[in-house]
Amino acid sequence: MLKQEIAQAVIAEALKTGGDFAEIFLEDRQNNNVSMLSGKVESVNSRRLHGAGVRVFHGFQGVYVYTNDTSMEGLMQCARRAASAIRGADKIAAKGLAWQDTPSIHAIKERPDQVKTARKVEKMKAAQAILKEAPEIVQGSINYMDSVQRVWIANSEGLFTGDTRVYTRFSVSAIASNGTENQTGGENPGAMQGFEIFDSRIDPEACAKTAAKRAVTMLHAPVCPAGVMPVVIDSGFGGVIFHEACGHSLEATAVAVGNSEFCGKLGQKIAADCVTAIDDGTIPNEWGSLNIDDEGTPTTKLVLIENGILKNYMIDKLNARRMQMPITGSGRRQGYMFAPTSRMRNTYIAAGNDENEEMISTMGDGLYAKKMGGGSVTPTTGKFNFAVAEGYLVKDGKIQHPVRGASLIGRGSEILLKIDRVGKDMQMAQGMCGSISGSIPTNVGQPMIRVSSMTVGGR
């Protein structure tokens, strides 16, 4: 843990060269992973990460130095190195630290780091048994992960607080083959929850059935035709398009330095009237939720877009200075080796009023994207290209047959304005989001939506 007197001394040392803000972040994390391939346990790994970082501000300049030597001398040396990059005219004194308890909204019934590996393997074997019996599945890969992260944060404004974050995730990947080509299907549920997740959120056998069915379905699907057409994107993982093509462009990381297509558009219409988008870190036990962010700020529910109007950006402490706007509890980092910046949490398009069946029955000829895969986006322009992991061709408002090789191509700001239907059932899916502050757990989500016109790429 981080002792108050040590934190106070480190902060004072970091301010000696004229910085106007200083912060120390200390992390102690235990990661456990088990991997299984074709029914055999391939590896069992436990890893501990322990270290701290010191950050100093001077105006709009930020300096960050980290170390895994958390002794008094190690932390003081870290503070001196950070301070050495600052040359301020005025020196300030840090406020006295006062510990602030962090109430947790995430109930943990069974700490996963205290669960024996044999119990974890039992869950994996249950999934493997399904894959073994599934026709045309030639290989199955199953992974289990849990993590317990403890953090302490103190700064020159008098903040001294901490938090414990518990994550559990289960992953199933199935490969179907006809002897000449392969197709893959996967399921990767997780939550900020303990091992009790298997009593409520995760059914290993159901995960395996879904993964196997998706792989086999895509194995027998013809290639998707290319063209411009209406596209219905299903709930859950469909939200990855908003996350990548629009969400990153609403982070202060991009907005504060002018690298976003949404710069200067607060209060303006950027989406269709039926679109409301939210970034919410306050949902109990969700994968992207927090109690406090990695700057010690209580997490928030932030409306980004309301009925098509841009209402907010996601803002961390340093970029709040640059933008002269309030922080939003969005400062996140992978761990002590990264300085925090503005990042998403649970980001989703809110539920609307449309019926799923009507979206498809009135779309004419188009594509139904049941599950999205990976892709790429350029935040400055919002241009994106995403693979469709499971897609179906629609003819005259009726789903005809599965298609493979489909991709969705477009620009975030244009797609937002072309959404003409938003369903009633919002669902979320779990992922890891990478940016300049590392890889962090985030949820993407949406109900089923329809985009009136979109470029679909095929083979």
Which of 165, 196, 219 terminates a domain? The answer is 219
- Give the per-residue pLDDT at 69: 98
- At 4, the pLDDT band (50, 70, 90 cuts) reads very high
d(CA 193, CA 115): 13
Residues 240, 188 within the same domain: no
Host domain of residue 43: 4-219
In this predicted structure, the answer to whether residue 382 has a pLDDT above a threshold of 90 is no
Which of 219, 247, 278 terminates a domain? The answer is 219
**Predicted TM-score of the model (pTM):** 0.95
In this predicted structure, the answer to whether residue 203 has a pLDDT above a threshold of 90 is yes
Residues 85, 137 within the same domain: yes
Alpha-carbon Rg of the chain, whole angstroms? 24
Which of 186, 219, 252 terminates a domain? The answer is 219
- Give the per-residue pLDDT at 377: 80
The counts of H helices and E strands in the chain are 10, 23
In this predicted structure, the answer to whether residue 322 has a pLDDT above a threshold of 80 is yes
Closest CA to 292 of 151, 443, 458, 459: 151
% residues pLDDT > 90 (the chain) = 93
pLDDT tens per residue across span 330-348: 999 999 999 999 999 999 9
Residues 137, 20 within the same domain: yes
The dihedrals phi and psi of 290, each to the nearest 5 degrees, come to: -145, 165
Residues 186, 277 within the same domain: no
CATH number at residue 14: 3.30.2290.10
Residues 195, 247 within the same domain: no
- Give the per-residue pLDDT at 280: 98
Residues 320, 444 within the same domain: yes
What value does the mean pLDDT of the chain take? 96
CB 348 within 8 A of CB 448: no
% residues pLDDT > 70 (the chain) = 100
At residue 138, the 3 state secondary structure works out as strand
329: tokens are 């509890």
Other C-beta atoms lying within 10 Å of the C-beta of residue 426: 19
Instruction: Write out the H or E segment, with its range, that includes residue 420.
Output: strand 419-422
Query: Per mean pLDDT, which range of 47-61, 315-329, 373-387 is the poorest?
Result: 373-387
Q: What are the helix (H) ranges across 279-352?
A: 317-323
Residues 335, 409 within the same domain: yes
Residues 278, 388 within the same domain: yes
pLDDT tens per residue across span 126-158: 999 999 999 999 999 999 999 999 999 999 999
The dihedrals phi and psi of 182, each to the nearest 5 degrees, come to: -120, 150
CA dihedral 400, 427, 287, 39 (to 10 degrees): -40
Mean pLDDT of 389-403: 97
Residues 418, 441 within the same domain: yes
- Give the per-residue pLDDT at 400: 96
Mean pLDDT of 22-34: 98
- At 164, the pLDDT band (50, 70, 90 cuts) reads very high
- At 359, the pLDDT band (50, 70, 90 cuts) reads very high
d(CA 33, CA 242): 30
pLDDT tens per residue across span 216-274: 999 999 999 999 999 999 999 888 999 988 999 999 999 999 999 999 999 999 999 99
Name the E strands within 178-269. Answer: 182-187, 190-191, 227-233
Structurally, how many domains does the chain consist of? 2
Closest CA to 320 of 381, 256, 235: 256
The distance from CA 204 to its chain's CA centroid, rounded to whole angstroms, is 22
Residues 318, 396 within the same domain: yes
198: tokens are 């298997």
In this predicted structure, the answer to whether residue 89 has a pLDDT above a threshold of 80 is no
- At 77, the pLDDT band (50, 70, 90 cuts) reads very high
Residues 203, 266 within the same domain: no
Residues 236, 116 within the same domain: no
- Give the per-residue pLDDT at 214: 96
In this predicted structure, the answer to whether residue 379 has a pLDDT above a threshold of 80 is no
- Give the per-residue pLDDT at 244: 87
- Give the per-residue pLDDT at 17: 95
